[in-house]
Amino acid sequence: MIVNVIADLIGPLHGGEMLLTFLATSAVFSAVLIVVLMPLLQRYALARPNARSSHRVPTPQGGGMAVVAAAALPAVILLLLFGTDFKFYWGSGRSLLPILGVFPSVIVLAILGAIDDIRPLPVLPRFLLQGLAVAAVVAPLTFTGNTILPVPAWIEFAILLFAGLWFVNLVNFMDGLDWITVAEMVPITAFIAFIGFAGFGPIRALPSPVAIMAACLCGALIGFAPFNKPVARLFLGDVGSLPIGLLVGWMLLELANAGALAAAILLPLYYLMDATITLFRRLARGEKVWEAHRSHFYQQATNNGYSALAVSAHVFALNILLAGLAAISIASPSLMVQFACVLAGVILVSALLFRFSKPRLEIAR
Residue 161: pLDDT band with limits 50, 70, 90: very high
Q: Rounded to the nearest 5 degrees, what angle is found at the Cα of 112, between the Cα atoms of 297 and 90? A: 90
> Quick one: average pLDDT of 160-180?
94
Question: Which of 93-102, 120-129, 288-297 is the least confident region?
Answer: 93-102
- Which tens digits make up the pLDDT trace of 36-68? 999 988 887 777 665 455 556 778 889 999 999
- pLDDT value for 54: 59
- Contact between 63 and 41 under an 8 Å Cβ cutoff? The reply is yes
Give the CA count within 13 Å in the CB-facing half-sphere of 115: 10
Q: Which among 302, 93, 106 is positioned nearest to 204, based on CA atoms? A: 93
- Which tens digits make up the pLDDT trace of 234-271? 999 999 999 999 999 999 998 998 889 999 999 999 99
> Quick one: average pLDDT of 169-189?
95
Top pLDDT among 59 and 108 is at 108
- Which tens digits make up the pLDDT trace of 110-148? 999 999 888 888 888 999 999 999 999 998 888 766 677
Cα end-to-end distance, the chain, whole Å: 67
**Residue 272 predicted with pLDDT over 90:** yes
> Quick one: average pLDDT of 159-186?
95
Q: Has this prediction a pTM greater than 0.75?
A: yes
- pLDDT value for 145: 66
Q: Which among 243, 304, 199, 204 is positioned nearest to 68, based on CA atoms? A: 243
Residue 188: pLDDT band with limits 50, 70, 90: very high
Q: What is the 3-state secondary structure (H, E, C) of 137-201?
A: HHHHHHCCCCCCCCCCHHHHHHHHHHHHHHHHHHHHHHCCCCCHHHHHHHHHHHHHHHHHHHCCC
